[in-house]
């Protein structure tokens, strides 16, 4: 792919290298922030994780997704291998007011506290 891109811009390889470095640092920050939010706002009892629905709704969507994946990893539910669409379905279910709905065994809580 790089030889093809170099035909259009000879600086493509160095630009992609800089982008990879930038993304690596940003991923480290997002991972750290996710773990900080988890330890501060998520309560774990046995294998049930809960948090304030109001708080979660105010968290940036990128961090909501990372929190869900982190919790799924803690539950050994394959959060790393969970594709975007499944994480998004869980995230939207968690943000919904209590409806009694579940997604593959993960149940949203009531409108005050949500959980997986």
> Helix 84-95 to helix 61-74 angle, to the nearest 10 degrees?
100
SS3 115: strand
Q: Which of 54, 108, 59, 103 is nearest to 82 (CA)?
A: 103
Whether the full predicted model's pTM is greater than 0.85, yes or no, is no
Give the C-alpha separation, 90 to 104, whole Å.
Answer: 9
Cβ atoms within 10 Å of 16's Cβ, excluding its own: 13
How does pLDDT run across 51-90, given as a tens digit for each residue? 998 899 999 999 999 999 999 888 876 656 778 888 899 8
* Number of neighbouring beta carbons within 10 Å of residue 108: 23
Please tell me the distance from the alpha carbon of residue 100 to that of residue 105, in angstroms, as a whole number. 11
Q: Pick 93 or 79 by higher pLDDT.
A: 93
Write the DSSP symbol of residue 1.
Answer: -
């Amino acid at each position: 792919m790089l030889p093809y891109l170099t035909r259009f811009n000879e600086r493509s390889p160095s630009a992609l290298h800089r982008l990879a470095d930038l993304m690596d640092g940003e991923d480290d920050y997002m991972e750290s922030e996710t773990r900080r939010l988890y330890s501060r706002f998520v309560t774990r009892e046995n294998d049930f994780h809960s948090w304030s629905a109001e708080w979660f709704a105010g968290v940036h969507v990128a961090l909501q997704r990372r929190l869900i994946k982190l919790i799924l990893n803690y539950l050994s539910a394959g959060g790393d291998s969970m594709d975007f669409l499944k994480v998004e379905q869980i995230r939207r279910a968690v943000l919904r007011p209590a409806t009694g709905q579940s997604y593959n065994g993960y149940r949203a809580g009531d409108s005050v506290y949500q959980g997986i």
